């Protein structure tokens, strides 16, 4: 049967469809602008903080939102509204390939999930960083506070199948500080996961137009 309407075109073969999808993915990646890349180790602690105090840390027009829901993030971080990742950085790669600052550095960041009152957009807000080298940390969120950073990590293995870990990391600046001493048994929930595209933007509290 001849199709004169033009609506009965033969479906594209699988290879053509794959090329179109790859092309669309590449175009999407070109539109994304990332800040910096790092190689390092990270210890992440999730806390439930004072919502009123957190609100004062966010830019105007954003409300803190605790983690909830049945997905991986919602179940693993349930009720937390503040993330404190401690980064031990071994190498940094910048967009212009011109790294500035120390080649090895540490920094402690403070991040909260928040929702835009105007648009309903759900993002992470990066609102404070303690570091010994503000010029060297990746991201450039304009919130780095010079601080004396200390860290130690001890592994103790005395019985088969058991490893105890004790960490100490702290930062002291002229405006404040943090001192944490987590102790835990190595293991627990292990998740291998990847995503084909960013699923929660990370914005800077000092300048929400900065997105990573």
Q: Are 65 and 122 in contact (CB under 8 A)?
A: yes
Separation of first and last alpha carbons in the chain: 53
- What is the C-alpha to C-alpha distance for residues 103 and 95, in angstroms, rounded to an integer? 16
- What is the C-alpha to C-alpha distance for residues 184 and 30, in angstroms, rounded to an integer? 42
User: Around Cβ 116, how many Cβ atoms within 10 Å?
Assistant: 15
- pLDDT of res. 189: 67
Structural domain boundaries of the chain?
33-146+190-204
Token reading at 194:
């990847």
Q: Are strands 202-204 and 122-131 parallel, antiparallel or unpaired?
A: parallel
- What is the C-alpha to C-alpha distance for residues 202 and 34, in angstroms, rounded to an integer? 11
Note down pLDDT in tens along the chain; length 212 residues: 443 433 344 444 545 444 444 444 445 444 545 456 777 888 888 999 999 999 999 999 999 999 999 888 888 899 999 999 988 888 776 666 665 666 678 899 999 999 999 999 999 999 999 999 888 777 678 899 999 999 898 999 988 889 999 999 899 999 899 998 989 888 766 777 777 776 778 888 988 888 87
- pLDDT of res. 22: 42
- pLDDT of res. 117: 95
Q: Are 62 and 81 in contact (CB under 8 A)?
A: no
Q: Are 186 and 165 in contact (CB under 8 A)?
A: yes
| DSSP 8-state class, residue 201 | -
- What is the C-alpha to C-alpha distance for residues 125 and 111, in angstroms, rounded to an integer? 5
- pLDDT of res. 36: 62
The gap from C-alpha 105 to its chain's centroid, in whole angstroms, comes to 18
- pLDDT of res. 21: 47
- pLDDT of res. 84: 93
């Amino acid at each position: 049967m001849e199709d004169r309407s033009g609506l009965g075109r033969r479906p594209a073969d699988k290879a053509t469809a794959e090329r179109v999808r790859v092309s669309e993915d590449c175009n999407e990646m070109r539109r994304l602008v990332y800040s910096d890349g790092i190689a390092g180790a990270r210890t992440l602690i999730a806390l439930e903080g004072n919502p009123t105090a957190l609100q004062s840390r966010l830019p105007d027009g954003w409300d803190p939102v605790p983690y909830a829901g049945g997905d991986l993030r919602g179940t693993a971080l349930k009720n937390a509204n503040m993330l404190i990742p401690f980064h031990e950085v071994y190498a940094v790669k910048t967009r212009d390939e011109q790294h500035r600052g120390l080649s090895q550095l540490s920094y402690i960041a403070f991040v909260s999930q928040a929702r835009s009152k105007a648009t309903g957009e759900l993002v992470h807000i990066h609102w404070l960083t303690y570091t010994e080298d503000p010029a060297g940390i990746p991201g450039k969120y304009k919130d780095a506070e010079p601080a004396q950073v200390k860290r130690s990590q001890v592994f103790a293995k005395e019985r088969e199948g058991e490893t105890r870990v004790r960490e100490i990391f702290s930062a002291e600046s002229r405006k404040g500080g943090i001192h944490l001493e987590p102790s835990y048994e190595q293991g627990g929930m292990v998740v291998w996961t990847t995503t084909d595209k960013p699923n929660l933007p990370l914005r800077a509290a000092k300048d929400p137009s900065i997105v990573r």
